Amino acid sequence: MSTISMECCYSSLVLVRFFREAALVVSLVVRWLLLPCYYWWPFSSAPSVQQDKTEAEARARHRAAAQEVMESLRVSTYGELAGEQACATAGAATCAVCLSEVGRRDSVRELGNCRHVFHRRCLDRWLDHDERLSCPLCRAPLLSRRPSDSPPPPSDPSWAVERLLYLFGDDLLVVAPPP
Per-residue model confidence as pLDDT tens digits over 68-78:
888 888 888 88
Does 3.40.50.620 match the CATH number of domain 75-143? no
pLDDT digits (tens, 9 = 90+) for 85-141: 544 455 568 888 888 888 888 888 888 778 888 898 988 888 888 777 888 888 888
CB proximity list for 115: less than 8 A, separation 6 or greater:
none
Report the distance separating Cα 70 and Cα 121, nearest Å. Answer: 10
CA 120-57-54 angle, 5° bins:
135
Indicate the pTM of the whole model: 0.49
Find, among 119, 137, 136, the residue nearest to 127 by Cα: 136
Angle (nearest 5°) at CA 178 between 176 and 179 = 115
Lowest mean per-residue pLDDT among 26-35, 55-64, 82-91, 134-143 = 82-91
